[in-house]
Amino acid sequence: MASDRVILKSGRIVRGGTSEMADVVVCDGKIVQIAPEVAVAEGDKVVDCTGKIVVSGLVDLHVHLREPGFEAKETIATGTAAAAHGGFTTVCSMPNLNPAPDTVEHLQVQLDAIKRDAVVKVLPYATITRERYGRELVDFAALKPMVAGFSDDGSGVQSDDVMRAAMAEAVKADAIIAAHCEVNELLKGGYIHDGEYAAKHGHKGICSESEWQQIERDIELASECGCRYHVCHISTKESVELIRQAKKRGVKITCETGPHYLTMCDMDLQEEGRFKMNPPIRSAEDRDALVEGIKDGTIDVVATDHAPHTLEEKSRGLAGSAMGVVGLETSFAVIYTKLVREGVITLEKAVELMSEAPRKIFNLGGGLCEGQAADIAVFDLEAEFDVNPEDFHSKGRSTPFEGWHLWGECCLTMVDGKIVWQR
């Protein structure tokens, strides 16, 4: 008898802060059963997960898919293939695009490409302001049903009045603001962290204050407006402390940081474009503060800020290269190798940071439980590999993790019950 059931057999199910040995049954795109032992019927497709972990598909709240407008760097097809390769079943795409998703019409260009080419779920951000110029607000009410949230990522909203008005509109639309925090007048031409490496090698530095000063402002505005406010890619110890205190005060604030900020400092930099991103990798003290923020719950989410560029754009050293590195295909393995295997956080915490918390904060639904969409990732924690950019599915090849020896390879990714990646 024919069957369309898929059984993920004998895996270690990691969810909700616990883990257990169980089988997962998928049928018609849904998880229909999770049980210690499921009998296999004729026609069932069985995937042997012995020795592997099974988790709710990872969610990345911060990726750049570059389409429409910059397809030489990445496309919906290549970016979502990279996501599937890394165990991600949902990604939220940033609005640094042409046309920028600042109207329903402009957003539709991206939505059409997603419908045509995406192999994982893609939820776009709309911009906060028209063309990300930081002046005229978009129509929050019109765009809200179609987007994950609102962000001018790549540009901090410089005007206090504009950000206050944006937060008021977000409250009315029941939307979330995801902010790239950066005070332009403090940048002064910097391109790496204003720290020891910059001083030793004659580079122009970006001061920490350029990030935390705007976070400080936005916390007060969010408190005033009652807005749901998510801080993108925090990198400084001051940012961690400001957010920690804001949470204690009851401000509706969440935040993310990236794998590179948690595992590297500025003295790990080399004179190569693959170490250049915004915000920059900062001091060892900042890195340690971020790790503590992960451990005590101040930092809610790990997101990659996957930002591909062409080889030429990343070949001009630290001073001349474009800002941004890729991360979808290494993120879980970096976190597992450097934080879980080292005993800094538990595996269950890693799954919370990379899957469960982003779903909850952005009201994405799903999760590893019966009745939910079968968005699932399977990882082999004993599988070792060396990071080789030539193995990436992304068009982007620029990663600070090149050559790192990692554990925790994704061996299967399933979206709505369909296997979109399998090793």
CATH number at residue 380: 2.30.40.10
C-alpha dihedral, 312 to 313 to 315 to 317, nearest 10°: 160
**CATH assignment of the domain containing 150:** 3.20.20.140
Q: Is residue 83 domain-shared with residue 195, that is, in the same domain?
A: yes
44 catalytic? Reply is no
Query: Is the four-CA dihedral 414, 96, 358, 192 of positive or negative sign?
Result: positive
What's the pTM value of the predicted model, to 2 decimals?
0.97
pLDDT score at 4: 87
Confirm whether 86 is domain-assigned: yes
pLDDT score at 154: 86
Exactly one of 23, 305, 380, 391 is catalytic; name it. 305
Q: Is residue 95 domain-shared with residue 223, that is, in the same domain?
A: yes
Which of the listed residues 361, 380, 395 is the one where a domain comes to its end? Answer: 361
Domain range holding 32?
6-53+372-422
Pick from 338, 217, 323: which is nearest to 280 by CA?
A: 323
Q: Is residue 348 domain-shared with residue 399, that is, in the same domain?
A: no
Q: Is residue 203 domain-shared with residue 237, that is, in the same domain?
A: yes
Summarize pLDDT for 251-306 with one digit per residue, the tens.
999 999 999 999 999 999 999 999 999 999 999 999 999 999 999 999 999 999 99
Q: Where are the beta strands (DSSP E) in 174-276?
A: 176-179, 192-193, 205-206, 228-231, 253-257
pLDDT score at 3: 64
Q: Is residue 210 domain-shared with residue 288, that is, in the same domain?
A: yes
Summarize pLDDT for 129-172 with one digit per residue, the tens.
999 999 999 999 999 999 999 999 988 899 999 999 999 999 99
Summarize pLDDT for 46-97 with one digit per residue, the tens.
999 999 999 999 999 999 999 999 999 999 999 999 999 999 999 999 999 9
Q: What angle do CA 60, 119, 107 make, to 5 degrees?
A: 70
Count of the separate structural domains present in the chain = 2
Residue 1 has pLDDT above 90, yes or no: no
With 0-12 / 13-18 / 19 or more C-beta atoms within 10 angstroms meaning exposed / middle / buried, residue 249 is exposed
